[in-house]
Amino acid sequence: AQSVTQLDSQVPVFEEAPVELRCNYSSSVSVYLFWYVQYPNQGLQLLLKYLSGSTLVKGINGFEAEFNKSQTSFHLRKPSVHISDTAEYFCAVFISNFGNEKLTFGTGTRLTIIP
Amino acid sequence: NAGVTQTPKFQVLKTGQSMTLQCAQDMNHNSMYWYRQDPGMGLRLIYYSASEGTTDKGEVPNGYNVSRLNKREFSLRLESAAPSQTSVYFCASSRLTGEGTDTQYFGPGTRLTVL
């Protein structure tokens, strides 16, 4: 079965410190990978996505993620966080498997920035 | 350009009541989706519509019906609400479905409580 795992449900980080939010997926076929962000009381919006090519993907607001096929991971990183980064972050995987294509979301990681 | 809009923003129902959640997009997208978001469970797909005139079940369709009224509008109906349907409901749209490269654009959500 295909799945997405976000191991950390909550991550507190001091302002201006670096952060890494972890995402692992299980699939033996080609995947497309996404990170979405949900600010308080809002819908989700795309942060970045990996489709093909360079394994390091840069997104909005200074975030980046690295696709690691051997470890089936797509961790999200930012070198220096800001108060405005407080939000919930969702990793999502699209798996194309001949009639079973769908976007599957992880359970989310709540990032809290401590002033 | 409003993107994806949802009405209402909040709703409280009693068990057994019915209601329809409305969603509209102005991006000329072909595909539309309904998700529910529950704590610790991420987003789960209820129904989707790949194109005008078609609808398909997602991961958790029981207790719901949908209507793709036209290209812009996709409604979700609860015929007989149950407390287990207390959730935040998100509508989303994308240019195409089955094309995993497409970004999904989300509405602001409807917070539904069933007593």
CA A106 to CA B40: how far, in whole Å? 9
Residues in B lying within 8 Å of A, measured between beta carbons = 4, 40-45, 58, 90, 92, 97-98, 100-101, 103-109
Q: What is the 3-state secondary structure (H, E, C) of A22-87?
A: CCEEECCCCEEEEEEEECCCCCEEEEEEECCCCCEEECHHHCEEEEECCCCEEEEEECCCCHHHCE
Q: Which two tokens stand for residue A86?
A: 């407080």
Q: Range with the lowest mean pLDDT among A31-45, A78-92, B15-29? A: A31-45
pLDDT score at A27:
74
Residues of chain B with pLDDT > 70: what percent?
96
Section A24-43 average pLDDT: 87
pLDDT score at B39:
86
pLDDT score at A96:
66
Section A46-71 average pLDDT: 93
pLDDT score at B98:
61
Q: Which of A44, A43, A82 is nearest to A63 (CA)?
A: A82
pLDDT score at B64:
97
Residue contact B98–A44, C-beta within 8 A: no
Q: Which of A8, A25, A44, A93 to mutate to test the interface with B (most CBs of B within 10 A)?
A: A44
Residue A14 pLDDT > 60, yes or no? yes
Residue contact A51–B101, C-beta within 8 A: yes
Q: Count CB-CB contacts under 10 A for residue B27.
A: 13
The size of the A-B interface in CB pairs under 8 A is 51
Section A27-53 average pLDDT: 88
Which is more confident, A28 or A23? A23
For the stretch B53-95, pLDDT in tens is 899 999 899 999 999 989 999 999 999 999 999 999 999 999 8
Residue B85 has phi, psi (to 5 degrees) of: -90, 5
